[in-house]
Chain A
Amino acid sequence: MRFAIRYRSEFRYPDPVFESHNLLRACPTTDARQTLLHYEVTTTPAARLHGYRDYWGTRVDAFGVRAPHTSLTIQAEAGVETRPTGPMAVCPRRADLTDPDFVDAHLEFLGRSPHTAWNEALRKEAEQRSASAGDDVVGIVLALHRMVGTSLEYVPGSTQIGVDVNDVLRGRKGVCQDFAHLLVALARSLGIPARYVSGYLFEAGAEGDLPAPVPDGERLAIKTHAWVEVAIPGAGWWGLDPTNRQEVGERHVKIGHGRDYDDVLPLRGVYQGAGAQALEVAVLIRRESGSQQQ
């Protein structure tokens, strides 16, 4: 599928801000599942951008604004084409997870991180809820995925980033970051490498419902999305979206991954000024007909 994506953040400050420095991670990546066609970032006031790939391979755009300003708009436009993924065709056992080469290659996605620091109770929960899958790694992962998807209710704005992953289950609700962090923590607690993914999701109805180009009113305004990739021995990374209780497919556009939210959060920065700010983030994502006509 081919998508046109527009990410837009708008800051408004009641008092002038004298200096602001920002790091933006909004660029779709290119990997086996998707190809980036074009990408452009503009800011108002204008700023000189410096783009680079970080340690995790995510494209980052760094920029600063030094002139006093009372609003700052960041807009990133991307074109991306996604491909369907094949079914999970391997059937590794838990013992395969302890292969030293496998462990060494995935070490950074096996340990605790600030947002995925599970405790013993959570690990026991993971064991219990996946016991029915026995020794089958794929089965365990699916059980955990189902558990997160059914235990939590998606409530926008219900939590703040920084909620303890061990408390998420008890609260029974969360945003997509909570879903993702919880699944990552559960998988890792059982020795299954898992990473946090930041990206965009095209959430319209079934494929083909929308004519192209889509009229403005049918564009989808969302924020960025988050899901999970787990490493399956013999198969590689497998994407799961616990918020939507589905495997990651053509409608998921990945920006990047990391140990948790902190490694790949879309926009981070500091500014110098009186303090108050109002921030609006909007993502417009439009399905394009390009790929279907080819």
Chain B
Amino acid sequence: MAPDLFEGYERGPFFDEIFDSEDGVRTHYRSLAERLRGLSPGDLERTERLRDSIFRSRGITFAVYGESQGIERTWPLDLIPRVIPADEWSHVERGLVQRVTALNRFLEDLYAGERAALHDGVVPRWLVQSSAGFVREAHGIPVPRGARCLVSGIDIVRDGDGVYRVLEDNVRTPSGISYVLENRSAMTRVLPVAFAQLRVRPVNHYGSSLLAALRSVAPPSAGDPPRVVVLTPGVYNSAYFEHAFLARQMGVELVEGRDLVVEDHVVCMRTTRGLVRVDVIYKRIDDDFLDPVVFRSGSTLGVPGLLAAARAGNVTISNSVGNGVADDKALYPYLPALIRFYLGEEPILPNVETYLLWEPEQRAAALARLHELVVKPVDASGGYGIVIGPKASEEELAACHKNIEENPRGYIAQEVVALSRHPTLIESGAGAGTARLEGRHIDLRPFVLSGERVEVIPGGLTRVALRRGSLVVNSSQGGGSKDTWVLAQDEEAG
């Protein structure tokens, strides 16, 4: 009898995704757990090797910042998938649709509307006006359907009670979807039997859903079908793999700024058969680099005249220019209020408790218990600059204290969320196939498309903090990933 992978597994004082509080296996994990118990060390080793060779041969890597240049690592996918039952997912899905709908409405109001949320004091006017992500140059650029967050990546965590909460909204250029698809494609090859037993909702339609969403925001003057392109900064960008991947999935051209030219406020790409009109640009470059006429950057990554073309209604840029204001973490605490304001609904997915450090009383309260809180810079992503109070040194806390007092607008403080844990294969150090299961903290980045309607891709990217006890799941900081299996509706009964 092979040793049980789960033997000696410690659930710990956390919400465990597989085991309930009585150490029983949760219903939706039962068949998977059985399958895993049947794996011999040899099976496991073979599976790991197969997985690694799939990723290597497909060149699926990611860049690590802060390490010496050009470091690329093979994508770390844990073999134990995360399973989400249909009823739980439908709750998350409704919450995401609601949240992204409110984000679209807010951004549309801000850039092309009456700015009602500011006039009515739902969000302080000064907070928006002082946001680095508020792009005045985007004022008045029309976006068909108001689908400004064409692709959103909403980071979700589960707290100690298993409640799904939104941690962060990413509506500029959220990345990671290529890993979701590659993870799935690898898992179907290395664990085909597990898929056969569970009815896992597919994700491989993402390319066609994205293309449909992009086409649905084409300007009225667009061709039929509208021509869509993906705009990348180029091969040296750390996410180039994903840009190329998405262009391939959609079957559209991957262009750089120099491939595009604006003539009479119409965007065209330079081809060997002349200029060809472009109707929708899925941009994967930062706003600041989009158009040197407007943003006056010396960069040649962008396209001179692009914003005027968008403003003239001849091209749609997705995600919309200026979305960064919604990524500003100082705006995050107001999302529940914005949902109530624009939709007249109660938020389905709650936020994490957040201190507004620019409010004197809240600041004082937060500074008094900094060692118990998480402090985040409002304008950073990827987990950079975050101070986790309980794990920070005295010096780090002192520096953090000083930063907040000098620039209260620059940070938010949140209660530490005891992220749920998931059994994860951890190498024991004795070589391949000798891994055992340990609990590791996870989060989830689902991807939401706004087009004709708001559509959530089942599951998303589950990120794992591979270091024991760590709460940092970002792949650039030693995080791993899991395939995320959302079960189809009729699986619920089983």
Interface residues of A (CB under 8 A from B): 19, 21-23, 47-48, 50, 52-56, 62-64, 66, 104, 107-108, 111, 263, 268-270, 272
Contact = CB atoms under 8 A, between A and B. Distances in A.
A53 B304 contact: no
Interface of B: 124-126, 129-130, 136-137, 139-140, 261-265, 292-294, 296, 304-305, 308, 311-312
B293 A268 contact: yes
Contact of B305 (A21, A54, A104): A21
B140 A52 contact: yes
Contact of B136 (A19, A52, A55): A55
8 contacts: A19-B304, A21-B293, A52-B311, A54-B139, A55-B140, A64-B262, A64-B265, A104-B126
Given A21-B305, A64-B305, A268-B296, A50 B311 contact: yes
Contact of B304 (A48, A56, A64): A64
Given A48-B265, A64-B265, A64-B304, A104 B140 contact: no
Given A64-B265, A104-B126, A269-B293, A21 B308 contact: yes
Given A50-B312, A53-B140, A269-B293, A21 B264 contact: no
Contacts of A54: 136-137, 139-140
A55 B261 contact: no
A107 B125 contact: yes
B137 A270 contact: no
Contacts of A52: 140, 311
B258 to A, nearest CB: 10
A268 B311 CA distance: 17
Contact of A62 (B125, B129, B263, B311): B311
A263 to B, nearest CB: 8
Contacts of B293: 21-23, 268-270
A54 B140 CA distance: 7
Nearest to B125: A104
Contacts of B140: 52-55
Contact of B262 (A21, A107, A108, A268): A21
6 shortest interchain CB distances as A-B pairs: A62-B308, A55-B139, A55-B136, A21-B305, A48-B264, A21-B304
A54 to B, nearest CB: 6
B316 to A, nearest CB: 16
Contacts of B263: 64, 66
Contacts of A23: 293-294, 308
Contacts of A269: 293
Contacts of A47: 264
B126 A62 contact: no
Contacts of B305: 21, 62, 64
B261 A66 contact: yes
B261 A19 contact: yes
B264 A55 contact: no
Nearest to B121: A104
A194 B293 CA distance: 27
Most chain B beta carbons < 10 A, residue from A48, A64, A66: A64
Contacts of A272: 304
A272 B292 CA distance: 12
B140 to A, nearest CB: 6
A47 B264 CA distance: 7
A117 to B, nearest CB: 15
Nearest to A103: B126
A263 B136 CA distance: 10
Contacts of A56: 136
A230 to B, nearest CB: 19
B491 to A, nearest CB: 51
Nearest to B139: A55
Nearest to A108: B129
Contacts of B296: 268
A235 to B, nearest CB: 22
Nearest to A64: B305
Contacts of B129: 107-108
Contacts of A21: 262, 293, 304-305, 308
A233 to B, nearest CB: 18
Nearest to B140: A52
Given A19-B304, A21-B304, A270-B304, A64 B264 contact: yes
A283 to B, nearest CB: 23
A23 B129 CA distance: 24
Nearest to A104: B125
Contacts of A108: 129
Nearest to B298: A270
B274 to A, nearest CB: 13
Given A19-B261, A23-B293, A107 B136 contact: no
A55 B305 CA distance: 18
Nearest to A110: B126
B101 to A, nearest CB: 25
A104 B294 CA distance: 27
Nearest to B313: A50
A108 B292 CA distance: 24
A48 B308 CA distance: 11
Contacts of B311: 50, 52, 62
Nearest to B308: A62
A269 B262 CA distance: 14
A48 B139 CA distance: 21
